[in-house]
Amino acid sequence: MFQRHPGANKDRAPLVLLEQVAVRYGDGPDILRDISFALAPGTLHFLVGPSGAGKSTLLRLLYLALKPSEGRVTLFGRDVAGLERRDLPPLRRRIGVVFQDFRLLDHLTAFDNVALPLRLAGVREAEIKKHVGELLEWVGLGDRLDSLPATLSGGQQQRVAIARAVIARPQLLLADEPTGNVDDRIALRLMYLFEELYKLGTTVLIATHNESLVARFPHHQLHLEGGRLALRPRLSAARH
């Protein structure tokens, strides 16, 4: 279903680089402060921490919905502060996002929701039909292509949201609680999907509360607490 990103893991310059980043809204307190880390191409990290720690804000920074109040964010080698409005769409198309609240378009079918990033990228309809059908089949929704989100369960909507995030083979995949509404079996299946993408060269960052999932997959963790970051070592736990 997927092919390896050309040049993945060859160029080890970080895909994401945050240096001394702080975020605050207006004159309010810092939501994030002194955040510095780098994500190399083709790596998978978990972003963990309690509710309100700033995980979603950090993800918003990375999917270019927010600019830092202080510090520097570099994505794909470009300083976000220097980006013009017209520079954003091509960069955003290299990023896949699974939103915590899914953010599916209610008036579009599961198929059309997943097809949207490909249509934005100008992919031909014949290819869209093939790839979207395959992916929705893979996430277990092959029989719900024409269903509107309102007719899908929470878990099914989440799978559509994940399919939409990965369909265009993003270089950077950001997922906010992607397994929050699915049972363990589906959660594992989705994690295997993320692992497959990361092995093919996608840089993956998964914000999650699911400690058992984190324990099960041996990847680096970024631990956020009170808006500050603590880097945890790679867990050595076995995958299964």
Examine residue 109 and tell whether it contacts other proteins (CB under 8 A).
yes
What are the residues whose beta carbons fall under 8 Å from the beta carbon of 108, sequence distance 6 or more?
Answer: 116, 148, 149
The nearest distance, CB 108 to other proteins, in angstroms, is 7
Long-range contacts of 103-107 (CB under 8 A, 24+ apart): 103/161, 104/149, 104/157, 104/160, 104/161, 104/164, 105/149, 106/148, 106/149, 106/150, 107/148
Using the contact rule CB under 8 A, the part of the chain among 14-22, 61-69, 178-186, 221-229 near other proteins is: 61-69
Q: Which residue has the tokens 């240096």?
A: 19
Instruction: Provide the residue type at 239 as one letter.
Output: R
CB closer to other proteins out of 105 and 237: 105
> What mask of x and - would describe binding to other proteins in positions 64 to 103, judged by CB under 8 A?
xx-------------------xx-xxx-xx-x-x-----x
**Residue ranges in the chain assigned as alpha helix (H):** 55-62, 88-92, 110-120, 125-138, 154-166, 184-199, 211-216
What are the residues whose beta carbons fall under 8 Å from the beta carbon of 201, sequence distance 6 or more?
Answer: 4, 5, 7, 8, 9, 41, 42, 171
CB closer to other proteins out of 94 and 220: 94
Number of residues that bind other proteins (CB under 8 A): 32
CB closer to other proteins out of 145 and 200: 145
The nearest distance, CB 239 to other proteins, in angstroms, is 31
Examine residue 143 and tell whether it contacts other proteins (CB under 8 A).
no
> What mask of x and - would describe binding to other proteins in positions 163 to 182, judged by CB under 8 A?
-x------------------
Whose CA is closest to 71, among 227, 205, 233, 231?
A: 227
The nearest distance, CB 232 to other proteins, in angstroms, is 29
Examine residue 157 and tell whether it contacts other proteins (CB under 8 A).
no
Binding interface with other proteins (CB under 8 A):
63-65, 85-86, 88-90, 92-93, 95, 97, 103, 105-109, 111-112, 115-117, 119-121, 125, 128-129, 145-146, 164
